[in-house]
Amino acid sequence: MSRNQEKHRRMEVRRDIGNRQVGSTSQFSTGYFYPYLIAHACFSCQKSFKLSCEKEHICPECGGTVYLMGRAFKAPKRRDDEQWRKVQKLYALGFRFYSYGGEYEPLPKRLREVDNFVLSYPGHELRVAELDLLLLQA
């Protein structure tokens, strides 16, 4: 008897005596999935968190609003104020940080380049949301 046949025979014995559950215990067959975590950012305390998209969240540090940034978001260093202002401005202008592997112009590297970038590429692929005027004024 081969090794696989012996293993199969032992599994059948375990099922027969009740030591093995019948059916699959795979997470895919039972419908149980862990929540997929996506980057969120708090612009007040300049931190990023991986949170689920299933509900609204508040910042665990300051209790403020956290914003869904997208799967490809890479947070700047906490003390890099210019980069955080750039990210906040891009977010307020409707840009989200998703990477679909398409051929598009990369996002600007500096805050001073954002206005020119937005004027040059009004239909950019990562500009998928409406303007957030309150966040833009902050």
Give how many domains the chain has, as a whole number: 1
Instruction: Give the domain range for residue 109.
Output: 33-137
Digit-coded pLDDT (tens) for 34-74: 678 899 999 999 999 998 887 888 888 898 999 999 988 99
Q: Is 22 domain-assigned? A: no
**Comparing C-alpha atoms, which of 39, 64, 60 is closest to residue 50?**
39
Residues of the chain scoring pLDDT < 50: 25-29
Q: Is 20 domain-assigned? A: no
Q: What is the DSSP letter of 113?
A: G
Q: Is 85 domain-assigned? A: yes
Q: What is the pTM of this model?
A: 0.72
Q: Tokens at residue 29, please? A: 């067959």
CB 65 within 8 A of CB 58: yes
Extended beta strands in 1-138, E state: 37-42, 47-52, 67-70
